[in-house]
Amino acid sequence: MTQENNHSSEAAITSQAPNAAPQPQPQPQPQPQPTEASHYESRLRLRMGEHDAHYGGRLVDGARMLGLFGDAATELLIQADGDEGLFVAYDKVEFRAPVYAGDYIEVRASITKLGNTSRKMQFTAYKVIEANIDENVPSAARVLDPPTVVTYATGTCVVPKDRQQGRNA
């Protein structure tokens, strides 16, 4: 093998003679799978559009937040098990504040408990930007600091043993 100096950003480049035996390449090491539920978190942020408004006054229905929670749950299951799994049930759902078209929502979700096949999760949707704050200036908006909790929920998802590719594989 020969070594050439490269004076740019690389210190040295290693090359191989044309008839030399191939050198074994290092194999990537498998990443250890987290075993603690707290290792799995998801964050989604998006703007509620006019198409999300379901009621008069551009009010977004609560089911839209539950749909976002389902998306976050899918991400968590893929992180933990390499499979989308199934959402079995919500244990608790609380709608705490209205959401309107134009608002920015951030969903935070985490796995709180890992069972053999079940995953307990918690979900919180925050309004991080409030739109339409001045009817005379439709483009006016403000960042909410702290954000407003609009929906909170807990639920359970399941990934069958034979579908788990991560922690329990």
What structural domains does the chain harbor? 38-163 (3.10.129.10)
**What's this model's pTM, rounded to 2 decimal places?**
0.76
Average confidence (pLDDT) over 33-37? 55
Residue 135's pLDDT is 86
Show Cβ contacts of residue 43 under 8 Å, excluding neighbours closer than 6 positions. Answer: 72, 106, 107, 108, 109
Split at pLDDT 50, 70, 90, the class of 26 is: low
> Is pLDDT of 32 > 50?
no
**Range with lowest mean pLDDT among 34-43, 46-55, 87-96:** 34-43
In the structure, how many helices (H) and strands (E) does the chain have? 1, 9
Q: Report the mean per-residue pLDDT for the chain.
A: 84
Angstrom distance (rounded) from CA 87 to CA 6: 55
Structure tokens at 77: 């299951």
Beta strand pairing call for 104-114 and 118-131? antiparallel
Assign 133 to helix, strand or coil. coil
Q: What is the pLDDT of residue 12?
A: 37
